Amino acid sequence: MEVDLCELLHNMKLREQESTSLDVQRPPQALAMDTDDSNMPEAQVDPPPTNPPEPSYQGCAYLQSIQSQLETFPTTGGESYIESIFTHRQIFFAYPGGHRCCARAFSDLACSLQRREWRADREADMEAASAFHYEAEFIASVVS
């Protein structure tokens, strides 16, 4: 099967080269007749798999893990998003140089929370988004 496919591709390239060199000399009716490939065997080509592109997350590894789990990130009660901000602050103050992109990550988190669909366990999404926006501004002012 592979050999047949290689020969078919090679013949197609040769036929393409021959037809481009002969196109100048042939009338348009002759070219239309050459496009009939009914005698050629049809090759079954599977379309390439369409994998959705992986989203690019910003910030440190901690914020990237939160971004990757945002669908299951509950905001009701306020504990999870406040805890994530305080945990990040502890990591941030331990090594501020490793958090240059964290302001953008917090902004991305806030925007994602604002856009996601409402559910009972997500009733505080807007509060969390406001807190993440504030944290983004805070980190941007400290890093710069």
Residue 57, both tokens: 């997350």
Average pLDDT along the chain? 77
Q: Are residues 90 and 125 in the same domain?
A: yes
Q: Are residues 135 and 65 in the same domain?
A: yes
Q: How confident is the model at residue 1 (pLDDT cuts 50, 70, 90)?
A: very low
Q: Give me the mean pLDDT over the 74-102 stretch.
A: 89
Q: Are residues 79 and 138 in the same domain?
A: yes
> Whole-structure pTM over 0.95, yes or no?
no
Residue 89, both tokens: 């602050």
DSSP state of 140: H
For residue 69, what are the domain limits? 61-143
Within a domain: residue 92? yes
Q: Give me the mean pLDDT over the 80-102 stretch.
A: 92
**Any idea what the Cα angle at residue 11 is, between residues 7 and 17, rounded to 5°?**
150
Using one digit for the tens of pLDDT, what is the confidence trace for 26-85? 555 554 555 555 555 555 666 666 666 666 788 999 999 999 998 888 887 777 889 999
